[in-house]
Amino acid sequence: RAEVVINGSSSPAVVDRSNESIKHNIQPASAKWRHNQTLSLRIRKQILKFLDAEKDISVLKGTLKPGDIIHYIFDRDSTMNVSQNLYDLLPRTSPLKNKHFRTCAIVGNSGVLLNSGCGQEIDTHSFVIRCNLAPVQEYGRDVGLKTDLVTMNPSVIQRAFEDLVNATWREKLLQRLRSLNGSILWIPAFMARGGKERVEWVNELILKHHVNVRTAYPSLRLLHAVRGYWLTNKVHIKRPTTGLLMYTLATRFCNQIYLYGFWPFPLDQNQNPVKYHYYDSLKYGYTSQASPHTMPLEFKALKSLHEQGALKLTVGQCD
Ligand code: CTP
């Protein structure tokens, strides 16, 4: 009977904010790693007790109507009205209905991907998930091009597209959305009130220009369900990162899960500097007390799953 040990300690793990890269030595990609099918199935079953990716990946049209009031998940006192545009973009059926893939790649945004040469390998997976509209064109060799689902926190519009202040930025976003070419665009619209206008701008752009993307807006219960699953496994996460959300969802429809670009540490295993993101100059914000994420803690849990064969983490170069 395969046992899942995600976090060995019984007390809440404390985040060590020093450089942890030395502790997290991971074998190079080429080293022997075997998929543990029994364990993967067991994890899927456990996660299904908390959430079902097929349902929770998006609110569906039948469940909301224009004008409905929604309380933000992290700002319960703030509300939003479901706009006509948002309603129009809600899917009728789950974008993952009856989907099963042999292998999935989840591509995180760490600078550890730079010079990894992992692009080709990433593109061979049956389903490729990316985070926060991270650019691919210029980085194809290291991150690949294939995108089946990409997430977009509303904050991305501010960080990467200058809050669409002028026509040039609107055009840049439009081009990026067009390049998705029918993939799923996953927008956490109901998390925090700060994203309200940004989500509306994107919705409007998609509708106005008939952009070919399949929009999805995660269910109101997803965040708590994901936290609940990890808490039960003694991983005390304040607010799961996009990467961890994606892994948790992917267990439902992927047989084997491969993670790339997950490395929340400023130095690599050989003590060379690593950029926080492979594509911008954002700094290691997670070390600030104000940051809601506990990425190193999540990483520890993922590394443990890697060692047990439930997922494969690649943090070095691909063959
Ligand atoms: N990630 C990582 N190490 C880094 C940067 C990112 O492991 N140095 C992983 C995390 O799982 C993260 C994912 O890659 O969720 C995508 O990165 P990013 O866009 O920074 O993620 P968010 O969690 O959405 O961050 P934020 O809330 O700041 O938008």
Q: Could you report the predicted ipTM of this complex, rounded to two decimals?
A: 0.97
Residue with tokens 């991983």: 235
Which residue has its alpha carbon closest to ligand 1 atom 18? 109
Measured distance CA(226)–CA(112) in Å, rounded: 26
> Can you say how many angstroms the Cα of residue 221 is from the centroid of all Cα atoms in its chain?
16
Bigger pLDDT: 26 vs 33: 33
Distance of CA 283 from the midpoint of ligand 1 (Å):
12
Tokens of 304: 């443990």
Confirm if 215 and 89 have CB atoms less than 8 A apart: yes
DSSP assigned state of 194: G
Q: Does the beta carbon of 107 lie inside 6 Å of ligand 1?
A: no
Query: Could you tell me which of 250, 218, 248 has the C-alpha nearest to residue 90?
Result: 218
> Can you say how many angstroms the Cα of residue 218 is from the centroid of all Cα atoms in its chain?
12
Q: Of these residues, 24, 277, 293, 306, which one is catalytic?
A: 293
60-115 pLDDT, tens digit each: 999 999 999 999 998 889 999 999 999 999 999 999 999 999 999 999 999 999 99
Measured distance CA(143)–CA(9) in Å, rounded: 34
242-266 pLDDT, tens digit each: 999 999 999 999 999 999 999 999 9
Which residue has its alpha carbon closest to ligand 1 atom 11? 243
Query: Could you tell me which of 267, 278, 313 has the C-alpha nearest to residue 113?
Result: 278
Q: What does the angle CA 156 – CA 159 – CA 165 come to, to the nearest 5 degrees?
A: 100
Predicted local confidence at residue 288, as pLDDT? 43
Q: Which atom of ligand 1 is nearest to the CA of 151?
A: 24
Which residue has its alpha carbon closest to ligand 1 atom 10? 243
Measured distance CA(146)–CA(105) in Å, rounded: 10
Query: Could you tell me which of 222, 173, 190 has the C-alpha nearest to residue 90?
Result: 190
pLDDT-derived band at 17 (thresholds 50, 70, 90) equals very low
Across the range 232-238, mean pLDDT stands at: 92
Predicted local confidence at residue 7, as pLDDT? 56
Bigger pLDDT: 286 vs 232: 232
Q: Which of 62-66, 97-101, 279-283, 287-291 has the lowest mean pLDDT?
A: 287-291
> What percent of the chain is helix, strand and coil (3-state, nearest 5)?
35, 10, 50
Confirm if 206 and 199 have CB atoms less than 8 A apart: no
Q: Does the beta carbon of 147 lie inside 6 Å of ligand 1?
A: no
> Is the confidence at residue 13, as pLDDT, over 50?
no
Q: Mean pLDDT score of the chain, rounded to an integer?
A: 91
Tokens of 8: 């060995």
Distance of CA 265 from the midpoint of ligand 1 (Å):
12
Between the two ends of the chain, the Cα-to-Cα distance in Å is 33
pLDDT-derived band at 2 (thresholds 50, 70, 90) equals very low
pLDDT-derived band at 8 (thresholds 50, 70, 90) equals very low
Q: Which of 23-37, 62-76, 83-97, 134-148 has the lowest mean pLDDT?
A: 23-37
Distance of CA 319 from the midpoint of ligand 1 (Å):
24
Q: What is the pTM of this model?
A: 0.93
Distance of CA 65 from the midpoint of ligand 1 (Å):
32
pLDDT-derived band at 20 (thresholds 50, 70, 90) equals low
Predicted local confidence at residue 15, as pLDDT? 36
Q: Which of 7-21, 57-71, 142-156, 183-197 has the lowest mean pLDDT?
A: 7-21
Is 293 one of the annotated active-site residues of the chain?
A: yes
Measured distance CA(250)–CA(93) in Å, rounded: 18
Tokens of 162: 């200058």
Q: Does the beta carbon of 109 lie inside 6 Å of ligand 1?
A: yes
Tokens of 286: 């997670």
Q: How many helices (H) and strands (E) in the chain?
A: 11, 9
Predicted local confidence at residue 194, as pLDDT? 85
CA dist 212 to 174, 181, 185, 203, 206, Å?
Answer: 11, 6, 10, 12, 8
Distance of CA 108 from the midpoint of ligand 1 (Å):
6
